[in-house]
Amino acid sequence: MNFQTFKFGKELQEGLDAMGFVKATPVQEKAIPVIQKGKDLIACAQTGTGKTAAFVLPILDKLNRVKQTNKVRVVIIAPTRELAQQIDRQIEGFSYFTNTSSYPIYGGGTGSEFENQKQALEKGSDIIICTPGRLMAHLRFNYFDTSEVECLILDEADRMLNMGFYDDIISIEKRLPKKRQNLLFSAT
């Protein structure tokens, strides 16, 4: 199945073309239509099968079709900073021709990174890609308004639970609007 089958907007399709994406993988063929309909989804597939694109593409398409709010609209939680960085790089590639903004929020690095993250949250990136602990730190300080969050995505959800992030994930979930789309992705 070609990506054009999903009828993504022109700008997103340009990003796909620029990155050389033509054919969808099996997990993308199954997940993208469900996500496009606004339904919740639990998906499990092996590493390297295109899970990230399966959730990023329909979410980017949806965000690009509606007016921007200058508030966080999608929260993606990943277990490690490396995975958060990888997801953000994919978002940047796919969204290159769109007006959608993203920002990675994770621990480590220099002390100035926390302040930069705070400013990005206050400014309002459309999508934030976070590790659970760092997101909780920003939520405790009320550095951003969660009222416009439309979608919560847990990538490698099983791994986060195994790493002891259950309480953080529940706490984060409680701070988000009840009416939202929930997507859980896991490796097999």
Count other C-beta atoms under 10 Å from residue 23's C-beta. Answer: 11
Distance CA 21, CA 144 (A): 34
Please state the rounded mean pLDDT for residues 117-127: 87
What is the DSSP annotation of 143-181?
A: -S--TT--EEEEETHHHHHHTT-HHHHHHHHHTS-SSSE
**pLDDT tens digits, residue range 50-108?**
999 999 999 999 999 887 778 899 999 999 999 999 999 999 999 999 989 999 999 87
The pLDDT, as a whole number, for residue 7 is 95
* Exposure string over 114-142, b if 16+ CB within 10 A, otherwise e: beebbebbeebbbbbbbbbebbbbbbeee
Say what the alpha-carbon torsion angle 25, 91, 64, 105 is, to the nearest 10 degrees: 130
Q: b/e map of 36-53 (b: 16 or more CB within 10 Å)? A: beeeebebebeeebbbbb
For the chain, the average pLDDT equals 92
3-class SS at 103?
strand
| pLDDT for residue 148 | 92
pLDDT at 110 over 70: no
What does the pLDDT read at residue 108? Answer: 75
pLDDT confidence of residue 146: 92
Q: What is the CATH number of domain 3-186?
A: 3.40.50.300
Strand pairing class (151-155; 127-130):
unpaired
Query: How do residues 128-179 score in pLDDT, each as one tens digit?
Result: 999 999 999 999 988 888 999 999 999 999 899 889 999 999 999 999 999 9
Evaluate whether 120 touches 140 at the Cβ level (below 8 Å).
no
pTM here is 0.94
For 14-62, write each residue's pLDDT tens digit.
Answer: 999 999 999 999 999 999 999 999 999 999 998 889 999 999 999 999 9
pLDDT at 116: 87
Q: Strand, helix or coil at 3?
A: helix
Question: Which pLDDT score, from 0 to 100, does residue 109 have?
Answer: 67
pLDDT for the residue 156 = 92
Q: What's the farthest any 2 CA atoms get from each other in the chain?
A: 46
